Structure 1
Amino acid sequence: MASRDATNGNTGLKKRSIAGSFLFKLPHGDGKQAQVALFKRSGKVSTYQHKYAPISGSVEKYDASPLATALREINEETGLTLSSLELLRVGKPYSFVDESIGREWTINPFGFRLKDKSEGGKGEEGITIDWEHEGFEWFNPLDVSESDEFGGVPKLVTSLRRVWPEYDLGPRAGKVLTSGLQQLREDHESGARQLADLAISILKNTIEEMDSDVVDDKWWANIRMAAWHICKARESMGAAITSATVKALDLVEKILAQDLSPPEKIRNIADAIEEQLGRRKSTTDRIRDAFVDYLRQNVVQTMPLKETLSILTLSSSSTISACLLEAAVHLGVSVDLRILESRPLYEGVTLASKLLEAKPESVDLKVTIYTDASAALAADGIDIFVLGADRISSTGDVSNKIGSLPALLCQRHVVPNAKTVILSETEKVAGPGMIEDHPVEENSPTEVIRAWKGNVKGVEIIERFMSDDESGIAKGSNARVRNSYFEWVPANFIHAYITDEGVWSIKNITERSDWVGNEMDRFFKDL
């Protein structure tokens, strides 16, 4: 492990930024306890010899991010590549000083789940330690301690807690959080709004399972740490999840300030979050009504000689489904709906099925499904292009299902006068930052390859030569399959943002983004 120190001129301490990675084995419903691997540092390293530690390494200038450092160090020190790992947790960074060695450390903690062989990973047998370690052992995370007898590096438990908040939540609440975070990570069917509902339900259930004898500052810090991980569980959908979660935290904070007994506070918190979930059910109705008004005023009135409203969309969204059906029912015109199939999971086909099943007999709604590659044909003659949003940046750019931008560019070329509108809950506005700062979700290539099976010759050859390292381009590899779920649509292509609070402007979006950023700082900055 190469290292480089920067000196703090005020204190003389050498400053180092570190990525520390914990490897976990998680049970699959078999009642077993989660285990974490700790590696015993060898006598050849410069600090903390013969102490238990996570996989650690310096964040170098050439590393794209601390996560890139973590993956590089895991590969160097264990031989494992990304094909054997799943990013489980992103811990909140922190700093501390170890005056005994004259260092100020900034720790970026990560938790990874070790995939077993049935998932295409190498499992524990794939770990090959290098010279920096003299061995490793698996521990129950709750048994890891700061004691001299345990023999860990300084702040070992602090780092572990930041990727395993279950350490402080207690066994029942910890189990609820672990299960809930796994649900958020693995649900690739639900939209952002449904995942936000799930997120605040997880927070509520976690709170209900915590010890209610003492509700103090430590309890509140543990809840905020759990909420941090809920916000980070699916960062590509994180805008909606974060907005809903910080609203829930605001409710919790207000109840904690009341002069009530701990059990009463817990009950009131659970009731308040349940009410929040109930209020969220009317969000789609408000978007739907605003959409119909927008179409009536900006589209239908401009087409007096045309009896059919032509709409193009893609993907599957309960919001879009409800809005399209409402438009067909109430606008008094025939609706020609074109839907792109939306590979690799074919959500567009799902959307078409939902609409056809829910359509009243009296509604004149014709549905045509197009392949993604025929977006230009699908766009010919449309009046409006309707998109959902999984995330909206502070400047109005929209992250949506992959295929959104090519379809929009086709529409701009084929029928430039058609309007492009976004249907979205206001909670999908993300905190401040450039779109380059937002995480990109790359998913298993298996989802893409599955559609080829039985239809494409040579698929087995492609699978054999696919790359599997963290960069996606392994030495000697000849093939790579990308499966990105989301892409950005620039704000200058968008005519209107139709939300649960009406038609929004970029100014409205920027103001909401600032609010999200301030709330994130308020609840998480001092953790």
Structure 2
Amino acid sequence: MFLLLKRSDKVRTFKHSWAAVSGTLDASDDGDHFECALREISEETGFHRDQLLLVNKGEAQHIKHSSTGNTFTVYPFLFQLKNVDQISKTLRMDWEHEELLWVPEDQVMDFMTSNLTVPDLISTWLRVYFPKPIRNYVYDIQNDCINGAQYLSIKAVKAMRDLCEPYVLGQLFGEMVYNHDTSLDPKYLKEVIIALVLKLCHLRPPMRVPITNALYEVFDNALKESNGELRPQSIQKAANIWIEKQNDAFSMLRREFIKTVKCKFASFYANLPDDQKEGVALCIHVFTISYSSAVRACLNELIDWGRQHRLDSITITCTESRPKNEGAKLVADLSKESEQISQTSVNYEIIADAAAGIRMEEVVSDKSDKNSKATMPIAIVGSDRVVPETKQFVNKIGTASFLACANLFNIPTFVTCLASKIALKSNSKSEGDECFCEPDHDGSELYSSYPRDVQDLCKSGKIKVYNQYFELVPSSIVTKVNPTFVKENGSFCAQNLDSNSNSFPRTLEAIQAYLGYKGV
């Protein structure tokens, strides 16, 4: 149920028209639209901020008054009451309204397309409201602290695909929903699609490039399929094709990784003393960090390759990757999968984030059985965004120090890098800077295990706790380590990052232009 209010004859504009809670920025708001919205809700309904939960913040839009010619800039917000039992106790109208109405979800659009509302209320509504299946996708993408950019890009495409399901569109448009007999008004479909595109692309700034690239490709194919028209079926078809392509991309990435590792391994074996080459047990020790679906795929391929080539053992060491410990989940997932596919001895280790250096040194300097075993160490990390012009990439916090340790002990290093994660060449500097748009996360994720007195100091703010999930790995580290970037269609070194950047206009602005959205 959604609250609409009928404006009274005491207001200056849109008298006797149905609207949502609305108001004008005051000087006291200092340009803060969110605070203005909370103030207006309190004044016009009696609900206070502690009773409200922000569901969505939509993109601003210009709405023109047909009579006066004045243009209003509207900043829409959607709030939910935390406790519906509070309605009868709290809800009251002020002088600005003469009537209120609670409208069921499936009747909102029919009501808003009548001539009873303020101008363009339907467009404002479509910028903030998504049906429940889509809200679930948005919530999952926003709060998933385990999976990487590729996994979340697939979820974003699934969200767009499922938005175009008839039953989901029915939750939005009611009787206006697309079916076999009638066509949904393209204007309204475009409004909700643009709103979802903007939402998905802004949810996780460090992962904006792959999500944007994915959505751009979906719309590019969908519009070609439907001769430039925006049709739900075409979007669904294009989304399914894109998702299937990711399986192919992963297969290609796995093969390219093994091809590169084989070259390293051949060089490693060639450099062994002649008296070690006969009868020596050949092993690989892998170091990695955090959770990356691309890294996971590559390591599964490595285990399978090791079995086929009768390696004695493969050891995989992963940092726990605080605060969410997703590195531990990577090791757990790999251990379950390798039980079924490998005869080679596969060992798994979890270490503290700060222990990477000492563990690498132990492996590199181990001389205990040098005559019977030869171990090649390698390091592999994922990437959520690659910034060609600055020779940087975004990944889990701690990646820079992890790579520095690998460099210190001359361990060959690989960065998995699907083509969709490479930033647009002409815009890559600003793309890289945006990775820190994601705010610090709750410090209690770190200090909850501290002694009680330290926890109290952290809670009070006397001790500042920084809890960032991502970092932009400095170009100085990348250049010094000179890792091998592994794409699905080839491998290249850090010096050649710039020549591997995307030259096509897969930016958020390009999607908006594609869909005819001009913004504010």
Q: Do Structure 1 and Structure 2 share a fold, with TM-score over 0.5?
A: yes
* Aligned match of 1:369: 350
- Per the TM alignment, residue 367 of structure 1 is displaced from its structure 2 partner at its CA by 2.7
Q: In the aligned structure 2, how far is the partner of 1:132 from the partner of 1:435?
A: 50
1:350 maps to which of 329, 332, 337: 329
Q: In the aligned structure 2, how far is the partner of 1:408 from the partner of 1:46?
A: 63
* Aligned match of 1:57: 25
After TM superposition, the structure 1 = structure 2 runs for residues 260-409 of structure 1, keeping only pairs within 5 Å, are 270-298=236-264, 300-302=266-268, 304-305=271-272, 307-330=282-305, 334-359=313-338, 360-380=341-361, 383-393=377-387, 395=389, 396-409=391-404
Q: In the aligned structure 2, how far is the partner of 1:525 from the partner of 1:74?
A: 29
Q: State the TM-score, normalized to the length of structure 1.
A: 0.68
* Aligned match of 1:423: 416
- Per the TM alignment, residue 258 of structure 1 is displaced from its structure 2 partner at its CA by 8.8
Q: State the secondary structure of the residue aligned to 1:511.
A: coil
Equivalent residues of 1:56, 1:70 under 8 A apart: no
- Per the TM alignment, residue 92 of structure 1 is displaced from its structure 2 partner at its CA by 3.2
CA distance 1:427–1:258, change in 2 (3 Å): closer
- Per the TM alignment, residue 399 of structure 1 is displaced from its structure 2 partner at its CA by 1.8
- Per the TM alignment, residue 344 of structure 1 is displaced from its structure 2 partner at its CA by 1.5
CA distance 1:375–1:223, change in 2 (3 Å): same
- Per the TM alignment, residue 132 of structure 1 is displaced from its structure 2 partner at its CA by 13
Q: In the aligned structure 2, how far is the partner of 1:82 from the partner of 1:358?
A: 48
- Per the TM alignment, residue 497 of structure 1 is displaced from its structure 2 partner at its CA by 2.1
- Per the TM alignment, residue 340 of structure 1 is displaced from its structure 2 partner at its CA by 0.5
- Per the TM alignment, residue 500 of structure 1 is displaced from its structure 2 partner at its CA by 1.8
* Aligned match of 1:253: 223
- Per the TM alignment, residue 249 of structure 1 is displaced from its structure 2 partner at its CA by 1.7
* Aligned match of 2:370: none
Task: Structure 2: give runs of 5+ residues left out of the alignment.
Answer: 170-177, 274-281, 365-376
Higher relative contact order (CA 8 A, sep 6+): 2
* Aligned match of 2:150: 193
* Aligned match of 2:61: 94
After TM superposition, the structure 1 = structure 2 runs for residues 194-213 of structure 1, keeping only pairs within 5 Å, are 194-209=151-166, 210=169, 211-212=178-179, 213=182
Task: Structure 1: give runs of 5+ residues left out of the alignment.
Answer: 1-32, 64-68, 118-122, 167-173, 467-476
Q: Deviations over 1:90-127 (max 9, x none)?
A: 5333335559888655445454666679xxxxx999x9
Aligned amino acid, residue 293 of structure 2 = S
- Per the TM alignment, residue 214 of structure 1 is displaced from its structure 2 partner at its CA by 0.7
* Aligned match of 2:438: 440
Q: In the aligned structure 2, how far is the partner of 1:336 from the partner of 1:288?
A: 18
CA distance 1:483–1:147, change in 2 (3 Å): farther
CA distance 1:48–1:518, change in 2 (3 Å): closer
Q: In the aligned structure 1, how far is the partner of 2:202 from the partner of 2:52?
A: 16
Q: Deviations over 1:468-526 (max 9, x none)?
A: xxxxxxxxx54554433222113453323212222254235532564345742433452
After TM superposition, the structure 1 = structure 2 runs for residues 69-108 of structure 1, keeping only pairs within 5 Å, are 69-71=32-34, 73=36, 88-96=55-63, 105-108=72-75
- Per the TM alignment, residue 189 of structure 1 is displaced from its structure 2 partner at its CA by 3.6
CA distance 1:517–1:271, change in 2 (3 Å): closer
RMSD: 4.7
* Aligned match of 1:500: 488
Please state which structure has a larger fraction of its residues in helix: 2
CA distance 1:58–1:418, change in 2 (3 Å): farther
CA distance 1:406–1:77, change in 2 (3 Å): farther
Q: Deviations over 1:416-440 (max 9, x none)?
A: x334432132222345334233431
Q: In the aligned structure 1, how far is the partner of 2:462 from the partner of 2:34?
A: 22
Equivalent residues of 2:415, 2:485 under 8 A apart: yes
CA distance 1:60–1:282, change in 2 (3 Å): farther
Equivalent residues of 1:207, 1:223 under 8 A apart: no
CA distance 1:506–1:46, change in 2 (3 Å): farther
Q: Deviations over 1:318-353 (max 9, x none)?
A: 321221232244265544432100112211111122
Q: Whose Rg is larger? A: 2
- Per the TM alignment, residue 314 of structure 1 is displaced from its structure 2 partner at its CA by 0.9
Instruction: Give the aligned length.
Output: 452
Q: Deviations over 1:377-418 (max 9, x none)?
A: 234366443111222335353221222223234444x33x33
1:488 maps to which of 469, 472, 481: 472
CA distance 1:92–1:364, change in 2 (3 Å): same
Q: State the secondary structure of the residue aligned to 1:281.
A: helix
% same residue: 19
Equivalent residues of 2:303, 2:342 under 8 A apart: no
CA distance 1:87–1:59, change in 2 (3 Å): farther
Q: State the secondary structure of the residue aligned to 1:389.
A: coil
